[in-house]
Structure 1
Amino acid sequence: MLDGHVLVDAHVHVPLLDTLAPAWVDWARQFGRPGILEEIWRPDGSPDPAALDRHMADEGVDVALLFCEYSPKATGYQRFDDLLPLVEHNPRRFRPVANVNPHLHHPIARELTRQLDLGAAALKIHPVHGGFRADDAMMYPAYAVLVERGVPLVVHSGTSTFPGSTNSYADPVYLDAVVRDFPDLQVVLAHGGRGWWYDAAAFLAVSRPNVWIELSGLPPRRLPEYYARFDLARLSRKFIYGTDWPGVPGQAANARAIAALDIPEDVVPLVLGGNALRVYSGLDPAV
């Protein structure tokens, strides 16, 4: 726990370093805490489960959702199965998140089902890196599986500077049809419309009960600026805490900065953990 609150970091990357594009390592060194790669990753590029567990405990993180990404054009080929040793080390703290790319996985529903059967708490898709739109018909079989299994969809919804990215695919407008066609699907907007689409992301979140804004990659002190056209007290009820770790100086510091914003006192525990426990599949903070 952190300051009496359950803390769920809903956006964490712990790949094998040799599966990455060089730009990813540069990003982690630029935005992360100095020395964090050497602290958590072994010389062979594999993450040390015990070191990762200690780090999360020190930062007050009760549950961390671990991402993978099949985007060889942009960030690399980060395999879902490589997350499983980390989850096995502490299955209560660590949960994997599935990822599929319609250009690589066919039939897509079969691969998603495989990852869900291995314990995935959500499906994260990465249109901006993977080279597809969220409303592409190729994705609809995957969304049907999510609804059947009661598992949420996380969508990268923000600009990316990685080489090979197609930023236009991050536009939240492409989710309008998805939310229409799958009204029972919980949809989480990772990065909250970062760059060009804060208003669009916020509008979807306040107008649709099943749409959420996940705060990874957004400096907490700038949230009132990013969402200036919306009532922050109301909008914050749809926030889910996430960091984009290791590309963040500190998880506890970010969480405390969010708690210090001008949002209702009863909303703070929802942002830091309560909303994630409601949305994601089978989380157990055990506090």
Structure 2
Amino acid sequence: MLDGRVLVDAHVHVPVLGSLAPAWKDWARDFGRPGVVEEVWDADGRPRPAALDAHFAAEGVDVALLFCEYSPKATGYQEFDDLLPLVEANPRRFRPVANVNPHLHFPIADEITRQLDHGAAALKLHPVHGGFRLDDPALFPAYAVLAERGVPLVVHCGTSSFPGSMNELADPAHLYPVLRQFPTLDVVLAHGGRGWWYDAAAFLALSHETVWIELSGLPPKRLPTYYARHDLARLARRFVFGTDWPGVPGVAANARTVAGLGLAEDTVALALGGNALRLYHGLDPEVDTGTVAGEGV
């Protein structure tokens, strides 16, 4: 816990460094805390489970969701199975998040089912790096699996500076056919519309009870500016805390900045952990979630 609140970091990257494009390593060093790569990864570029666990424990993180990514054009080929030793080291703190790319996985339902059966808490799709639209019919079998199993979908909703990125594919309007076809599927907008789509992301979250704003990659002190056209007190009840670690100076610092925005305490508790514990599949039920997100939104 951090300052007496449950803290879930819903957006964490811990790939094998050798699987990555050089730009990813430059990003981690440019935007992350100095020395964190050397602290957590060994000389062969593999994350050290004990070091990772100690780092997140020191930051007050109760649960961290670990991402992979099959985007060889932009960031690299980061395998889901590389996450499993990290999860096994502390399955209470760490949970894996699935990833698929319709250009690489077929039948796509089989691969998402395999990853869910290995404990994935959600499916993350990265259209900008993967080169596909979220309304691509090839993805609908994966959405059907998620809806059937009650597992949320996380989508990259914001610009990316990595070479090879196709930022036009981040438009949240591409989600409308998905929301219509799968009305019970929770959809988390990673990066909250960063760049051109803050208003569109906020509108979706406020108009659909299944859509959420995830804060990774957004400086928390600027949230009132990014969402100035909306009722921040209401929108913040749809927030899911995440950092995009290791490309962040500090998890605890970001969380404390969210807590210092002047929001009601129950809203802060939802944003920092309560919403994530409700949304993501299989998180530790013994962690106190407080007020459920659907109340008073």
Q: TM-score range by the shorter chain?
A: over 0.9
Aligned to 2:294: none
Aligned to 1:256: 256
SS in 2 for 1:267: helix
One-letter amino acid of the structure 1 residue matched with residue 59 of structure 2: E
- Deviations along 1:167-187, one digit per CA (max 9) or x if unpaired, are 000011101111111001000
The gaps in structure 2 that reach 5 residues or longer are: 288-297
Quick check: 1:19 aligned with 2:19?
A: yes
One-letter amino acid of the structure 2 residue matched with residue 218 of structure 1: L
One-letter amino acid of the structure 1 residue matched with residue 221 of structure 2: R
CA drift of 1:278 comes to 0.7
Contact 1:63 1:285 in 2 (8 A): no
One-letter amino acid of the structure 1 residue matched with residue 130 of structure 2: G
Contact 1:6 1:285 in 2 (8 A): no
Aligned equivalents of 1:210 and 1:285: distance in 2? 21
Contact 1:101 1:125 in 2 (8 A): yes
The gaps in structure 1 that reach 5 residues or longer are: none
Aligned to 2:295: none
Aligned equivalents of 1:111 and 1:281: distance in 2? 17
How is 1:62-77 mapped onto 2 (pairs within 5 angstroms)?
62-77=62-77
Contact 1:92 1:285 in 2 (8 A): no
Aligned equivalents of 2:106 and 2:7: distance in 1? 36
Q: TM-score, normalised by structure 2?
A: 0.96
- Deviations along 1:139-162, one digit per CA (max 9) or x if unpaired, are 000000000111000000000000
Aligned to 1:82: 82
How is 1:145-156 mapped onto 2 (pairs within 5 angstroms)?
145-156=145-156
One-letter amino acid of the structure 1 residue matched with residue 111 of structure 2: E
One-letter amino acid of the structure 2 residue matched with residue 29 of structure 1: R
Aligned equivalents of 1:251 and 1:79: distance in 2? 24
SS in 1 for 2:266: coil
How is 1:125-136 mapped onto 2 (pairs within 5 angstroms)?
125-136=125-136
- Deviations along 1:230-256, one digit per CA (max 9) or x if unpaired, are 000000000000000000000000000
Contact 1:233 1:263 in 2 (8 A): yes
Aligned to 1:43: 43
SS in 2 for 1:275: helix
CA drift of 1:262 comes to 2.3
SS in 2 for 1:229: coil
SS in 1 for 2:282: coil
Aligned to 2:8: 8
Identity of aligned residues (%): 77
How many residues align? The count is 287
SS in 2 for 1:37: helix
Give the root-mean-square deviation of aligned CA atoms: 0.7
Aligned equivalents of 1:177 and 1:2: distance in 2? 39
Contact 1:96 1:119 in 2 (8 A): yes
Aligned to 2:201: 201
SS in 2 for 1:266: helix
SS in 1 for 2:247: coil
- Deviations along 1:32-67, one digit per CA (max 9) or x if unpaired, are 000100000000000000000000000000000000
CA drift of 1:10 comes to 0.1
One-letter amino acid of the structure 2 residue matched with residue 272 of structure 1: L
Aligned equivalents of 1:277 and 1:34: distance in 2? 30
Aligned equivalents of 1:200 and 1:264: distance in 2? 24
Runs ≥4 residues deviating over 3 A: none
SS in 2 for 1:44: coil
